[in-house]
Structure 1
Amino acid sequence: MEKSNEIAHVNAELIPQDNSADSDDKALSRRRVLEAGAAALALLMLPKLAFGATCPGGNPPNERGWFGSENGSVVHHGGNYIGVASKTWWWQVGYSWDASQWLCLSFRVFVESIFTDELYDIFKIHVQAKCGDVNTSTGHRIWFSKYKDNYLHFWVSNLGIAGSCQKTDWEDNKYFAFSNENLGGGNRWWWSITDWTDLGYNSPTYLYKRNRDLQDAYFGLGVYVYNVMCGGVNNWTTPDRVFLSGFTSSPDTFMGSDIHARIDKITLDQDMSLFGKIVAIVPDSVKSGYQCLDVDAARQSSGTLVHLYGADGSGANYTQRNFIMGLGAMDERGGITFTIFPAHVKGFSRVLNASGGRSYLEQAARNRTAPSSAQTLQLYGDDNTIAGRFWVTKSVDKNGRYNIISDASGFAFDQADGKTAEGTIVRLHSDGILGSEWSNEAHKWRIEEVFFKGTISLDAERVEPGKTISVIDPSKTCTPYDQGGTGSVKYLYRWYWMKDERESPFAENKYPEAFTLSSWCHLANCGDQIWRDAYAGAGYPVRDTNFFVEAFKLRIKYGNGFIENNADFGSICYAGCMGIENSGDFSWSDVCRDGEELGKGGVSNRITGIKIWLEGDIAKEYDIAYRAFIYGQGWTERFHSNGGSQDDAELCGSDDASGSKGAIKCIQVFAIPKPRGAKLAREFAEDNSFIPESSHSGGYLTAQAMLALNLDDTSGFDGHKMIADAYQGDSSKGLEALPVPPAPPVRVGIKVFYYVDGETDPCFEEEYEMGTTYQVNPDATAAGQKDNCLDLVCWYTDPEYTQPYEPQALDSSLKLYGYNPCSVKYDTTTRSSVLDTSYNWSTDADLGTALDLAALYPQDEIVKYGTKLTFAGPWSAWCEDAGKTRCVSSTPGVYATAGASGSPILSATIKGNTTVYVDWPWSGYDGVMSARS
């Protein structure tokens, strides 16, 4: 007789387990049926997994072969569910007192897949039994359930399942009896066999998420028999003594051993090269390259939908069509999921979100149904849940196209109904069929990096030393730009000075558009990482992990290759302060160049400070900026090296740290193009203007613009998730150099500028002898004083009016600031009802408090010239009229004249001393007939 049967498609083995202590259990609660289902699930997670028989035994007459024939894979294919059932032998026993009486039993676990995608499965599990007898000596069936204690027992172990949920209808303390009493009376010479029965419970469903590794799971079966009818007598009724039992964990029994199966790991991957980039997400079916994912009307609120727009040629030119590829949580494979930030949301407090998250599947599992095939994709607050995490993979597409899959549901980004028209909703979708995502063209996307590009211009053709020159608004000529006006981005400006006249600042550059940096690192607890664009970062600032940068490399990519030891070209150089964690011995490394390894992986090395710079000819055309994510601190500002040596490189981080405190987890490096041989006149700043000094005379000025993310107001924003701080690219390549006239005779004075009321042009300016104490000029105060204002408040050294100027010796130009204060008073129009003294006016309907208009109106106040003021009101007042109470209310807003001419004003910009008038008209008929009418 066979002892076992091979398990198809899996690496399986029969390993005995000792569960003999279970043999004394008498009753099995309905909860154990879940164990049965989970046992089957452990073996049927994946489409290639199936299992065979493990319980050998004899066969009843006319029931030859394996009982249960639905062996196969658990697959959801099209509209059909293909189930799989365990195959077992009949177990049959001949009673020794009467050989004509026989018992037989077969059991199985039947599993059907009702939903499958690339991350999740929902299985419905049925535990079933079938029994029979040959009985010639009694009017009762031999299987007897007097105490409901002939039952099956299932168990499962070592699943390693994450994110499971299920619902069952069973209650505790109920037995899973099997019997054949429903076949009627006995006394038959042939086999009487029941149909398969589910033991009276509703089949549970089980939600499963695959894991990163191969999983080892086993399931076991037990049979317990307490009551059997033989010869008309119930011979075995002792509650504490089992008549017959068998366990798969006992290899010497008739049932064989537990089954072990290895379950395959998750098959998706992440394209780690995308982290830290700002991209457009373009449907592959749109070959023009214009239409892309767009946030509806550039809205920023939770629940806002996304769709396709840009067919008019605008494409990704608006920030609401740009997305920042940020960090999510660790995935099951040891990689990192993506959090996708819409680039137009100020403060970056919104992310793309799968509406309902995983509960979308959990609810379907609880209802024992497959989920709907579409899930809403929306903007939502970054609540750090699985609903905001995505897998971005192209490994399964031979053409390199992307599938973007929700970690919460396994549903993929989808063009609704496969459409590409303007306004087509982009949602999440799955047919619930394993592998169907890869053949669905509506799930295919291109992810294209968005670069800041265009040409800026200046507001003059030449500029005198000491005069202001400004960059004209780049949004008029450069893309992308803040079309929605949300304020999520801002422009930064860098200024250069060149000695020679040039047709274009970059005309003499030897390395145009061909210089990029690549970086690599070894992370503690994570190992070697792939080479990535250096501006996208080496390492990952995952806050809850110990992913410290232990080793680091940089190299120059030029043309189709990499630069190494090229004396004519130059080198990228870097050095770090580092040491072994908790050693207390941290020091600066030797200088590394062109791909040499800084530090060492796998030895608890910690890098706490770094300097990066260029040497050689390439340093004439590029500067370097860099920043780091430091443990316990977060992102640093950008540091720079604007020369050709280590002495020109600023320190990012610290050179006195120890342990892990202050250790670097991510390094970003930026190459900044500049006109060949140009000198930096001013580093990137928000001020678009520049005042050349005398030292710039006889040369040429040019500017460069950067589109940065506005991180000034990021309340509620988890900054470590977003590696990017600016768009790559700049808008200076077409800008001509601006000449600065030759220097005039040696100047003996310096300029002092006076500004009032936030105006950009000075109200007064003068030259003053350098090195002598400068006193405020009364003529400047007179020039700044505006008519119909209070006395000028002046002078301050800052435009916020917090630092009063104190007379001092000047060695450079000076800007002073002041403002005109304006009084604002409230009065009442001459026609107002409340001025009628024949009524006793009150502030309340009970007429208990006399109306005092001076106390009711806002107190007189002083505001700065140009302040926009929203006026108070309206108010109500009451009086007694003809024995009844009458109410009047002031008109919303105020009037500019006591006669209430013109229209009411709700708000206004104050540009002088102002009195506004509140108007109290009599109300229309309110049920009170005036005694005076």
Structure 2
Amino acid sequence: MRADKYESKTAADKTLKETPISRRGLFAALAVAAGLGLLGADDAFGWDYWGQNAGIGQGFWDAYGMLKGHVGRSRSYTNPSAKCMGYATSWCEWTCWPGTQQLRCALNLQIECDYENTLWYHLSFYPLSACGDTNYGTSHRLWYDNGEDDNRGRIYEDAPDDPHKILDFNCDLKNNYAGCPSPGQQATFNTGWERRSYKDSSKWYRRTGSGFSHSFAAWFELRDIRIDKVWHSEWGAKAFGTGWCATSFPAIPHGSRQDFFGMVCRVHAAVDDSLNWDVCNAKSSNRTPIYQQELFAGNDKTRPEPNLNQLFLTEFANYQEIGGNYADADQSYLITFRPAHVVDGSAALNAWGGGPFDGTDIRTSTKREFVICKYTVADRTCGWWLVDKWNSDGTKNAVQVISDASGQAVNRYGGTTAKPTQLFMWHDGYDTDTSKNKASEWVIEEVPFTGKLELNSGAEEITWPQAPTCGDPFATCYPAKKELWETMGKPTAMIYRWYAANTPDPAPDEDAVVMGQAYISKTGDFMEVPAYRHVGTNFNPDYVLEAFRLYLKGTGYEGSIGYMALSRDSGTWSDARSDGEWVGQSGASLRWSQIKVWLQGEVARHYDLEVRAFQSDVSWCRTYVSATDAESAPAVGVAGKTLRCIQVDLIPKPTDAVLVKEFSRDAQMLELTEDEARAVDGMYLSCAVQQEFKTEKRSGTAEVWPLVHRFHGTIVTPSVKYCAKKSLITYYADGVDDEHIVYIDHADPGKYTASDAATQAAVKAVCNLNEHFGDTASSGFTGWFTTRELIDSFGGIDLDRGQKLDLYGRNRCTLRIDYADGSLRPENGVDYKSQPKDGAASISGALGLPDFSGDIESHALDGIDLPAIGDNGVGHMAVYYGERISLATPTDAYRKMGNGTWRHIVCDAYLTDRAGGGRPCRTSRWSGTPRSTSDGATPIRTASPRQRSNYEPGRRRGLRPQAAHVPYGRCA
């Protein structure tokens, strides 16, 4: 900027020799830093500059929106709606040439919040300048552009020094005022406020838990000017600045819900609990969008289908920058959502695109991607705030899920139905834009492991060596579903714990839980939370457990929970505490190393404990506790290491049940040795089942062991009586080998008689003795004997434990012989011929039925001589089932009938049965030319090998003889 005096004293003949006073645009330093170069005033974007309405010398002004010194209340960065404040200086004046040339300029700093959400503010700074002159007797203005931005400006935050400088700006002042007054008016003219601002004149501010304040001011320096005829080229030849504009940044309007950490959950829209977050089979390496998805089981839509795509593990965010300048420590516990189907838990939901911390301008779009990706340390886009109770009706306890990186909320952007609709991060740049916004309202609902299981398909009793076996949790429990687990690579597993009790009392069915509270160093008290989720934190070594307390909630049993802790520094145990009493005290910088927890009183008869402890340099360790006092309770943790977090959960069990086998993935079947079985003989067995995540170790995180290790909930089967070893009674019918076992009985020690079920299994339908013809089929059964030879009859016994007893019985049956229909029969005076022709020799006495009554009985089967039956007679003989017999062939006899034809003698042999008349023994008729088998004998027993192999212990698998005609020559 230059201003020269007139060369003559008359307006007509004087020539004004002018050197310009320059000014140019603002914020050169910020523009260069942003890679945009230095923009001049003519390149400014078309923004609204409400500060132009301020008067010269007005000082601090906020009449346009930022009232009472508070930042905010803008609608959006494209339409700030006059929400700004600033400071307007008075004229800075000097005489360039005594008596003829007087110059002036003024500065007005406008501060505007053009974007805000629950975590971030964006402030823009617009310096406005004015310049003018008093110029008597000339039409030329004294200010004009010489093409050089030789004037300098700065904007400061809190203090006028380089460490607090926000930006530099350059400008070239000029007066474009049109026209010129008459010399007689001797008026003062100036340009008024002119815009010197650009889009990048800005800074992001992050809210904190307690709020903060800043003051802003602008400073302006003119150089290369002439004052009172003296040329000034040095820096700061003329300088002036605005006053300080103080404004406060309010605190974060919410805290994190600490009770949501450490659980398995689904997240559904508050307006419709069928609209779930769904990762759609995304892999941990994918950057795959997340959707809202409806998925129900059955046509009635009564409950959600178990679907790993819609289940998430909630844990503490795992980066160390939390706190400090971003958020007060007591509000800095942020949550991560890890897809449950990623086996090692190393993926997390991600607000893709980051936020102001990484240079991303979140003002440029109201929505950004919401995806699943690999979780990495210090990735703020994987950390989330839970803003409580934003739901419009107040009944669902809905929350907003807000990105710690950008302050944007997870939103069903444009999604109003159950169809797969992509979810986005959204915010329109106004603090209350998501208040009562249903598309941003979510309900986080814990998904426990529930269902029903039984042992050995509901058996009333189990006997060794039969193994007690728990039913398949994938078939009857929720959210287990085998098909989905197989598709997802089995990220979960079932673990089984076996109990034995003296009574069949069931495990308790109540919503009992251990509640806990912690005091954490540097942060203060946590809220009370279910202790199975967390008491303390596991993500930051500086957040140490200094004090804690536990108590029982929701149980109807009398009793309490006891606990104590080992001092890391002194190596001594604290006093035992119970029922909500504190171990340690807040603010005392105590450090603990190990803990003991136990149940006492009636409640200890119905529950055990699962205790986990997280320590620095150790990670997680886990112990199951059945102790009822401090002396017997195990110490959990490694001595000398610092305790940071504990988890305590109740395990329901039958009354006074004792542990048989600890939780194990391979214990669905309880295999016991004979000695082990004898130890629980007569007791009632039950199995406790949990569903855990197979996340033993995961990569890409500092805490390689997860906070969430399993679904909450334990399913306990009904109790089943277990017998170590009963007596074994094996029944053999019609034989002495395994093929002839018809029944197996297990009996307790004491009096024992033959089983009716065994007899029913042994009896054959065709076994009637002739003298009992017409009686029940069992008339032919011998009864049971202790010897194979059927000598020692069994009438009962006093059994010893584990005694083995074999019993034998056989079926007896009568082979009857009679004339067939149409056969010759004996008649007096009839001439019977040996051949069917005239002249053949006559025979007599050949037509009578055989008489077996005089025969000496001899029976042998399976190499064993059997007793005589004593039921032989004319036309019938008694045999044992399966026995082979031979019958004498009758003499052929013929008779010539009156019509010249010949008739033949034909006899049938058949087995008696209760139907009367009997059943033929073979398909061929017994005649004078008998048909026979190749070896001359045919067995009565006709059961196939397949029928005989169908025997199962304890079930009736009797052999059924089929109808058979037997030739006269041999019968069986």
TM-score (norm 2): 0.61
SS in 2 for 1:648: coil
Q: Work out whether residues 109 and 218 of structure 2, in 8 Å CA contact, stay in contact via their aligned partners in 1.
A: no
1:476: how far off? 0.8
**1:675 and 2:657 are equivalent in the alignment:** no
Partner Cα distance (2:103, 2:177) in 1: 15
RMSD: 3.8
Partner Cα distance (1:635, 1:713) in 2: 11
Partner of residue 855, structure 1: none
1:309: how far off? 2.1
SS in 1 for 2:187: strand
Q: Work out whether residues 347 and 717 of structure 1, in 8 Å CA contact, stay in contact via their aligned partners in 2.
A: no
Partner Cα distance (2:723, 2:33) in 1: 89
1:118: how far off? 1.6
Write out per-residue CA displacement over residues 276-324 of structure 1, whole angstroms, 9 at most, x where no aligned residue: 12111110010xx333222214655422222222245352622221111
Go from structure 1 to structure 2 and tell me whether the alpha carbon gap of 1:488 and 1:455 turns closer, same or farther (over 3 Å shift). Answer: same
Go from structure 1 to structure 2 and tell me whether the alpha carbon gap of 1:360 and 1:476 turns closer, same or farther (over 3 Å shift). Answer: farther
Partner of residue 378, structure 1: 371
**Which of the residues 582, 603, 608 maps onto 1:618?**
603
**For residue 471 of structure 1, what is the amino acid of its counterpart?**
C
Partner of residue 119, structure 1: 119
1:98: how far off? 5.3
Partner of residue 724, structure 1: 708
Partner Cα distance (1:66, 1:607) in 2: 59
Partner Cα distance (1:574, 1:270) in 2: 28
**1:71 and 2:64 are equivalent in the alignment:** yes
**Which of the residues 236, 253, 267 maps onto 1:281?**
267
Partner Cα distance (1:360, 1:596) in 2: 43
Name the % identity.
22
Go from structure 1 to structure 2 and tell me whether the alpha carbon gap of 1:316 and 1:393 turns closer, same or farther (over 3 Å shift). Answer: farther
Go from structure 1 to structure 2 and tell me whether the alpha carbon gap of 1:128 and 1:364 turns closer, same or farther (over 3 Å shift). Answer: same
1:152: how far off? 5.2
Partner of residue 261, structure 1: 247
Partner Cα distance (2:206, 2:465) in 1: 67
Structure with higher Rg: it is: 2
**1:345 and 2:325 are equivalent in the alignment:** no
**1:424 and 2:410 are equivalent in the alignment:** no
Partner of residue 826, structure 1: none
Partner Cα distance (2:113, 2:96) in 1: 44
Partner of residue 635, structure 2: 651
**Which of the residues 453, 457, 468 maps onto 1:456?**
453
Partner of residue 469, structure 2: 470
Partner of residue 245, structure 1: 239
Partner Cα distance (2:33, 2:214) in 1: 13
SS in 1 for 2:364: coil
1:441: how far off? 0.8
Write out per-residue CA displacement over residues 853-907 of structure 1, whole angstroms, 9 at most, x where no aligned residue: xxxxxxxxxxxxxxxxxxxxxxxxxxxxxxxxxxxxxxxxxxxxxxxxxxxxxxx
1:144: how far off? 6.3
Partner of residue 701, structure 1: 685
Q: Work out whether residues 492 and 684 of structure 1, in 8 Å CA contact, stay in contact via their aligned partners in 2.
A: yes
**1:303 and 2:287 are equivalent in the alignment:** yes
SS in 2 for 1:435: coil
**For residue 388 of structure 1, what is the amino acid of its counterpart?**
C
Correspondence 1:744-755 to 2 at 5 A: 744=726
Q: Work out whether residues 36 and 155 of structure 1, in 8 Å CA contact, stay in contact via their aligned partners in 2.
A: no
**For residue 286 of structure 2, what is the amino acid of its counterpart?**
S
Partner of residue 500, structure 2: 497
Go from structure 1 to structure 2 and tell me whether the alpha carbon gap of 1:33 and 1:473 turns closer, same or farther (over 3 Å shift). Answer: closer
Ranges in structure 2 where 5+ consecutive residues have no aligned partner = 1-22, 35-48, 67-71, 729-972
**For residue 677 of structure 1, what is the amino acid of its counterpart?**
D
Partner Cα distance (2:79, 2:372) in 1: 35
Write out per-residue CA displacement over residues 29-78 of structure 1, whole angstroms, 9 at most, x where no aligned residue: 954678999xxxxxxxxxxxx9999x9987xxxxxx78989732354326
Go from structure 1 to structure 2 and tell me whether the alpha carbon gap of 1:213 and 1:434 turns closer, same or farther (over 3 Å shift). Answer: same
Q: Work out whether residues 270 and 391 of structure 1, in 8 Å CA contact, stay in contact via their aligned partners in 2.
A: yes
1:340: how far off? 0.9
1:715: how far off? 3.5
1:165: how far off? 15
Q: Work out whether residues 465 and 725 of structure 2, in 8 Å CA contact, stay in contact via their aligned partners in 1.
A: no
Partner of residue 720, structure 2: 738
Q: Work out whether residues 126 and 204 of structure 1, in 8 Å CA contact, stay in contact via their aligned partners in 2.
A: yes
1:665: how far off? 0.3
Q: Work out whether residues 607 and 663 of structure 1, in 8 Å CA contact, stay in contact via their aligned partners in 2.
A: yes
**1:556 and 2:552 are equivalent in the alignment:** yes
SS in 2 for 1:468: coil
Q: Work out whether residues 469 and 691 of structure 1, in 8 Å CA contact, stay in contact via their aligned partners in 2.
A: yes
Write out per-residue CA displacement over residues 683-740 of structure 1, whole angstroms, 9 at most, x where no aligned residue: 11101110242211112211111011112352445436842211111222xx332221
1:184: how far off? 7.6
Partner of residue 575, structure 1: 564
1:326: how far off? 0.6
**1:153 and 2:146 are equivalent in the alignment:** no
Partner Cα distance (1:481, 1:471) in 2: 15
Partner Cα distance (2:705, 2:26) in 1: 47
Q: Work out whether residues 464 and 741 of structure 1, in 8 Å CA contact, stay in contact via their aligned partners in 2.
A: yes
**For residue 382 of structure 1, what is the amino acid of its counterpart?**
Y
Partner of residue 208, structure 2: 211
Go from structure 1 to structure 2 and tell me whether the alpha carbon gap of 1:141 and 1:553 turns closer, same or farther (over 3 Å shift). Answer: same
**Which of the residues 615, 640, 650 maps onto 1:630?**
615
Ranges in structure 1 where 5+ consecutive residues have no aligned partner = 1-25, 38-49, 59-64, 249-256, 747-933
**Which of the residues 290, 304, 308 maps onto 2:274?**
290
Partner Cα distance (1:52, 1:27) in 2: 19
1:269: how far off? 1.5
SS in 1 for 2:679: helix
1:436: how far off? 0.6
**Which of the residues 157, 173, 191 maps onto 1:178?**
173
Partner Cα distance (2:635, 2:142) in 1: 88
Partner of residue 589, structure 1: 574
Partner of residue 686, structure 1: 665
1:179: how far off? 2.7
| Length, aligned pairs only | 651
Partner of residue 529, structure 1: 526
TM-score (norm 1): 0.64
Write out per-residue CA displacement over residues 201-255 of structure 1, whole angstroms, 9 at most, x where no aligned residue: 665343332233332322233333445568xxx824221275543345xxxxxxx
SS in 2 for 1:490: strand
Partner Cα distance (2:225, 2:165) in 1: 38
Q: Work out whether residues 125 and 204 of structure 1, in 8 Å CA contact, stay in contact via their aligned partners in 2.
A: yes
**For residue 77 of structure 1, what is the amino acid of its counterpart?**
R
Query: Mean Cα displacement is larger for which, 187-196 or 304-313?
Result: 187-196
**For residue 116 of structure 2, what is the amino acid of its counterpart?**
T
Q: Work out whether residues 357 and 409 of structure 1, in 8 Å CA contact, stay in contact via their aligned partners in 2.
A: yes
SS in 2 for 1:701: strand
Query: Mean Cα displacement is larger for which, 455-464 or 441-450?
Result: 455-464
Q: Work out whether residues 207 and 362 of structure 1, in 8 Å CA contact, stay in contact via their aligned partners in 2.
A: no
**For residue 294 of structure 1, what is the amino acid of its counterpart?**
D
Partner Cα distance (2:294, 2:468) in 1: 38
Partner Cα distance (1:358, 1:635) in 2: 33
**1:394 and 2:394 are equivalent in the alignment:** no
Go from structure 1 to structure 2 and tell me whether the alpha carbon gap of 1:30 and 1:450 turns closer, same or farther (over 3 Å shift). Answer: closer
Write out per-residue CA displacement over residues 721-768 of structure 1, whole angstroms, 9 at most, x where no aligned residue: 842211111222xx332221264489xxxxxxxxxxxxxxxxxxxxxx
Partner Cα distance (1:678, 1:148) in 2: 92
Partner Cα distance (1:641, 1:67) in 2: 69
Go from structure 1 to structure 2 and tell me whether the alpha carbon gap of 1:699 and 1:352 turns closer, same or farther (over 3 Å shift). Answer: same
1:106: how far off? 2.8
**For residue 696 of structure 2, what is the amino acid of its counterpart?**
D
Go from structure 1 to structure 2 and tell me whether the alpha carbon gap of 1:596 and 1:442 turns closer, same or farther (over 3 Å shift). Answer: same
